Amino acid sequence: MSRRTQAPRPELADARRQGLHNIGEAAAISGVSAKMIRHYESIGLLSPAERTFAGYRIYSDNDLHRLRFIKRARVLGFPIKQIEVLLGLWDNRERASSEVKELARAHADELGRKIREMQAMQQTLLDLARRCHGDDRPDCPILEDLATLER
């Protein structure tokens, strides 16, 4: 029976001297909340953090870089599944940039579709608001429209 020897876990002070960051520092530096960092670990977007002797999570500069990548992708509206693909492409230095471009264009097209849908909703609501008297009378075209079964 062979036992793998594991490097001893560092004390937090030693980890900091090695340039590692606890979860609070990682959150502050990356702009990703500690809760989301734990979530990204739990779903595999971020490797499980190393731990100090006391069990505190510690993160390297590479981890922080990955967190900033994830945050930027989220700001651009990429869903988690696509971020997972993007991270895989980012990690693969042999990948073709055409794959990344295809994902970006498909996402931009989807955003355009959603924008058009939201603009149509906005126009409908503005039209309904214009038709509503907004006074003490009970009749209201907004409520009448909402109550219709189909359009």
90 in any annotated domain:
no
Question: Rounded mean pLDDT of 58-71?
Answer: 96
Choose the final residue of a domain: 32, 49, 78: 78
CA-based nearest residue to 63, from 28, 35, 21: 21
Q: Which domain holds residue 143?
A: 96-151
More confident residue, 113 or 13: 113
Write the Ramachandran bin of 57: left for phi over 0, alpha for psi from -120 to 50, otherwise beta. beta
11-20, 28-37, 79-88, 104-113: segment of lowest average pLDDT: 11-20
Q: Are 69 and 75 in contact (CB under 8 A)?
A: no
Q: Which CATH number goes with the domain that contains 27?
A: 1.10.1660.10
pLDDT in tens, 37-64: 999 999 999 999 989 888 889 999 999 9
Mark whether 49 and 108 lie in a shared domain. no
What percent of the chain lies above the pLDDT cut of 70?
94
Whole-structure pTM value: 0.79
Burial class from Cβ neighbours inside 10 Å (0-12, 13-18, 19+) for residue 118 reads exposed
32 in any annotated domain:
yes
Mark whether 10 and 58 lie in a shared domain. yes
How far apart are the C-alpha atoms of 138 and 30, rounded to whole Å?
Answer: 53
Mark whether 65 and 109 lie in a shared domain. no
pLDDT of 13 > 60? The answer is yes
Chain centroid to Cα 129, Å, comes to: 35
CA-based nearest residue to 22, from 54, 53, 57: 57
pLDDT class for 10, splitting at 50, 70, 90?
confident
Q: What is the count of structural domains for the chain?
A: 2
